[in-house]
Amino acid sequence: MTGHTTNFTWGHSKPYNDFPSYFRQLFSERVQKVSIDAGFTCPNRDGSVGTGGCIYCNNITFQPTYCNLAESVSSQIDRGIRFFSERYRAVQFLAYFQAYTNTYAPLDDLIALYEEALAHPQIVGLVIATRPDCLPDAVLDYLAKIAENHYVMVEVGVESCENRTLKLINRGHTFETTVDAFHRLAERNLHSCAHLIIGLPGEDRETVLNQARIISQLPVQQIKLHQLQVHEGTRLAQLYRAGVLVPDLYETVEDYIAVVVEYLELLRPDIVVERFVSQAPSSLLIKPRWGIKNHEFLAKIEKALKTNNTWQGRLYKV
pLDDT tens-digit readout, 195-235: 999 999 989 999 999 999 999 999 999 999 999 999 999 99
Helix (H) or strand (E) holding 231: strand 230-231
Predicted pLDDT of residue 181: 98
pLDDT tens-digit readout, 242-287: 988 776 678 899 999 999 999 999 999 999 999 999 988 888 999 9
Q: Which domains does the chain have, with CATH numbers?
A: 19-307 (3.20.20.70)
Rounded Cα distance between 193 and 49, Å, is: 23
Query: For residue 174, how many C-alpha atoms fall within 13 Å in the half-sphere facing its CB?
Result: 3
137: confidence class by pLDDT, cuts 50, 70, 90: very high
Predicted pLDDT of residue 136: 97
Closest CA to 151 of 184, 110, 121, 189: 189
Rounded Cα distance between 69 and 37, Å, is: 6
- Predicted confidence (pLDDT) at residue 109 exceeds the cutoff of 60: yes
Predicted pLDDT of residue 71: 86
CB within 8 A of 150, min separation 6: which ones?
118, 124, 125, 126
Strands 285-287 and 230-231: antiparallel
Q: Is 188 exposed, middle or buried (0-12, 13-18, 19+ CB in 10 A)?
A: middle
Interhelix angle 107-118/137-146, nearest 10 degrees: 20
Beta-bridge mates of residue 193: 155, 222
Rounded Cα distance between 285 and 252, Å, is: 15
Q: Which residue type does 108 have?
A: D
Q: Which residue type does 305 have?
A: L
Helix (H) or strand (E) holding 155: strand 151-159
1: confidence class by pLDDT, cuts 50, 70, 90: very low
Residue, of 299 and 279, whose pLDDT is higher: 299
- Predicted confidence (pLDDT) at residue 116 exceeds the cutoff of 70: yes
pTM: 0.92
Rounded Cα distance between 143 and 114, Å, is: 9
Rounded Cα distance between 16 and 267, Å, is: 10
